[in-house]
Amino acid sequence: MGAANSTSFWNQGVLGRKILFTLTTGAVVKAVLILMVGLVIAKVLRRYLLSLARTTKYVWIINEDTASTIHNMVVVVALVYSLDALGVLSITVAGTSLSNILVAFLVFYFSYVLAKKSKDYIIMRSSKQKLPEVQLKAKLYYYTFVTLAFFMALNIAGLSGRLSTIIAAAGITGIVLGFSAQTVVANFISGIFMYFDKPLRIGDAVRIGDFEGIVHDIRILSTRIRQWDGTLVRIPNEKLFNSEIINLQKYPARRAEITVGIAYKEDAQKAIDTIMKVLEEEPIVLAEPEPRVYVRELGDSSVNITIWAWVPSELWLGQNLLRSKYRLLQKIKEALDREGIEIPFPQRVNWFAEALRVKIEEPKEDSS
């Protein structure tokens, strides 16, 4: 009886070891197959992308760097699933396997690297003339790609369905985040609309509300303006999109407007001819469109003459504006002085209905 039980126990132990050996061997074979298939796919995909990079016009996204990045991503993902097949990554975190979390992280990381490399490649290959526009395009692509990769990673990790539940469970925090997200989304969408509308570019001189200066940077959520005094202003894209934008440098030439007053006793036509001669000889004034000089109004103290002269836009901005305007005013004043034409100071003539009478009183003597 005892011998029979001993034999049965020995048979069960051998059978158990065989089953354990079989399961372990199966897991190893599965892991090796997954890794080998991943390596093959990665190699084939890399070769295909490299061959495609030689002929495609989308070389900014399909090139040697991106091919290597995708190759590495496939290899690492295959390695993770191989370890999962061995049971090494069988740990569950918040209802999601550790392998899915790792794969989600890897997909997001490599997508981020891919987006960054593509953005840098776009900027590097662009010409200096188109660099501001290309930078905005590259940033738009970068943020869009990273956002899609983020939601893809959430889906792989199995957290996409729980995201709304987590936010809803957060109560007040969820509401605050919702309002914040609304502002972020509004700025993001406004940035996309501005990219297609192109009201301004980096380097343009603009006036937006109370701010005036050079567009320093255009980002996906905000735009930065460097004012003439050197201060940097950040304007959210939503506010910028809904504001009146005056582009001071959209066209190569701008009309400069200056007003000069002459005395009433002077010949207005002579003053106009004198000023026109100055404008014709001044190199910063363009011949076309032709400058115009005319009497605008009869002011309180002077006959006001308005001067319209077209100058290069870059000479009528910021510090250049001060220098150019001073130059023109100085030349005009010198010319009027040579011709003896008076530029009056403000004065007022008072008339009285009756002649003024002057009464002189002698001081009274002190009786004390």
List, for residues 144-192, the tens digit of each pLDDT value. 888 888 888 888 877 666 555 555 555 555 555 555 556 666 776 777 7
Length of the chain: 368
**Is the separation of the CB atoms in 154 and 165 below 8 Å?**
no
**Is the separation of the CB atoms in 256 and 316 below 8 Å?**
yes
Q: Compute CA 143 distance to the chain's CA centroid, rounded to the nearest angstrom.
A: 12
- In angstroms, what is the C-alpha Rg of the chain? 40
What pLDDT shows up at residue 138?
A: 80
**Is the separation of the CB atoms in 157 and 96 below 8 Å?**
yes
> According to the per-residue pLDDT averaged within each range, which of 193-202, 301-310, 312-321, 347-356 is highest?
301-310
**pLDDT of 344 above 70:** yes
Residue with tokens 């997200």: 181
**Is the separation of the CB atoms in 293 and 272 below 8 Å?**
yes
Which has more pLDDT, 14 or 221? 221
The verdict on whether omega for the bond into residue 344 sits within 30 degrees of 0, i.e. cis, is no
CATH number of 253-338: 3.30.70.100
Tokens of 259: 């007003």
130-138: long-range contacts, CB 8 A cutoff, minimum separation 24:
131/202, 132/201, 132/202, 132/203, 132/215, 132/218, 133/198, 133/201, 135/202, 135/218, 136/195, 136/201, 136/202, 136/218, 137/195
30: left (phi over 0), alpha (psi -120 to 50) or beta: alpha
Considering the chain, tell me which residue range(s) the CATH 3.30.70.100 domain(s) occupy: 253-338
Integer Cα distance of 288 and 310 in angstroms: 8
What pLDDT shows up at residue 201?
A: 81
What pLDDT shows up at residue 157?
A: 78
Q: What residue spans of the chain are helical by DSSP H? A: 2-53, 64-85, 98-125, 131-157, 160-169, 172-197, 237-241, 268-281, 318-338
Classify residue 302 by burial, with Cβ atoms within 10 Å: 0-12, 13-18, 19+.
buried
Question: Model confidence at 46, in pLDDT bands (50, 70, 90)?
Answer: confident
Q: List pLDDT tens digits, range 8-39.
A: 444 444 444 444 444 467 778 888 888 899 88
Integer Cα distance of 274 and 5 in angstroms: 129
